Amino acid sequence: MRFIGIIPARYASTRFPAKPLAMLGGQTVIQRVYQQVSRVMDDVVVATDDERIEEAVKAFGGRVVMTRTDHKSGTDRCYEAYEKVGQDYDVVVNIQGDEPFIQPQQLEAIKACFDDDRTQIATLVKPFTEADGIEALENPNSPKVVVDNDMRALYFSRSVIPYLRGIDRAQWLAHHTYYKHIGLYAYRVETLKEITTLPQSTLEKAESLEQLRWLQNGYVIKVGTTDVETIGIDTPEDLARAEAFLKQMK
């Protein structure tokens, strides 16, 4: 199978404008993401709507395509980029442009999901540990995932699922393996084309989670696991933490 990694990267951001061009250890954030993904994928392309990002990617020798400015999601931007690349691949992997520490083993885990012929979409989870604590489990900004016996997603929620009846809430992590969703997606090309035409679903609107649109329409989402916790860059404070982390790695 041939895999292409597509990295949607927008200049505008409410919490951190120009985030892809922020410097991290002497390189832009988008360059670091690109380099990590290039270690695993057959091809990599940045999908952007801003000429400044386009120029920055070309400057480090990366591949980039310009996309429309009115996309409502990274998924839609990925499909437009795939069409513009003009080459055939089996699977498109959607990598967030603010994950400079994404690890090869995470990308390999999501690729392995397509060893199952039934997989239409794949994503990653990380098991919560008791050390994470109940506060982390209850954080609505950290969606949880329930899976079936074949590691296919049954539901995603900002609430804690499942509810453990008869067990004190403080003890839930000791009695059940809860999964934290990691926002990395991969799609068979024909599936990506289909899901970009779907209207928002009621469950998606309720939880503000795009992947519920796909589940509600019957798509099979295979779930890979990782024990790696990366540092996403959502705010200038995150960038400072990433800089400190980078120095520790040296």
Query: What pLDDT sits at residue 24?
Result: 95
The stretch 124-132 carries a mean pLDDT of: 97
The stretch 172-192 carries a mean pLDDT of: 97
Query: What pLDDT sits at residue 72?
Result: 83
29 and 117 both lie in a single domain: no
The stretch 87-113 carries a mean pLDDT of: 95
Can you give the residue range of the structural domain that contains 41? 1-98
CA distances from 18 to 26, 74, 163 (A): 16, 17, 40
Task: Report how far residue 124's alpha carbon sits from residue 63's, in angstroms, rounded to the nearest whole number.
Answer: 25
Tell me the Ramachandran region of residue 164: left when phi exceeds 0, alpha when psi lies from -120 to 50, beta otherwise: beta
Res. 248: pLDDT tops 70: yes
Rg over CA atoms, the chain? 18
The stretch 22-33 carries a mean pLDDT of: 96
Res. 30: pLDDT tops 90: yes
Q: What is the tally of structural domains in the chain?
A: 2
Q: Which of 66, 98, 130 is the last residue of a domain?
A: 98
With CA atoms as reference, report the closest residue to 119 among 222, 3, 1: 222
107 and 94 both lie in a single domain: no
For 215, the token pair is 């589940």
Q: Which of 49, 75, 98 is the last residue of a domain?
A: 98
Q: How much of the chain, in percent, has pLDDT values that exceed 70?
A: 100
CB burial string 180-211: b at 16+ within 10 A, e below = bbbbbbbbbbebbebbbeeeeeebbeebebbb
129 and 191 both lie in a single domain: yes
Res. 232: pLDDT tops 90: no
Res. 246: pLDDT tops 90: no
Task: Report how far residue 213's alpha carbon sits from residue 66's, in angstroms, rounded to the nearest whole number.
Answer: 26
Query: What pLDDT sits at residue 131?
Result: 96
The enclosing domain of 126 has a CATH number of 3.90.550.10
What 8-state DSSP symbol labels residue 151? S
Write down the pTM of the prediction: 0.94
For 45, the token pair is 């392309």
The stretch 30-45 carries a mean pLDDT of: 97
Query: What pLDDT sits at residue 92?
Result: 98
> Predicted confidence band at 250 (pLDDT cuts at 50, 70, 90)?
low
225 and 120 both lie in a single domain: yes
157 and 121 both lie in a single domain: yes
CB atoms within 10 A of CB 131: 7
> Predicted confidence band at 73 (pLDDT cuts at 50, 70, 90)?
confident
Sequence-distant (6+) residues with CB within 8 A of 156 are 143, 144, 145, 181, 207, 209, 211, 212, 215
| 250 vs 107: which has the higher pLDDT | 107
> Predicted confidence band at 62 (pLDDT cuts at 50, 70, 90)?
very high
Task: Report how far residue 179's alpha carbon sits from residue 72's, in angstroms, rounded to the nearest whole number.
Answer: 27
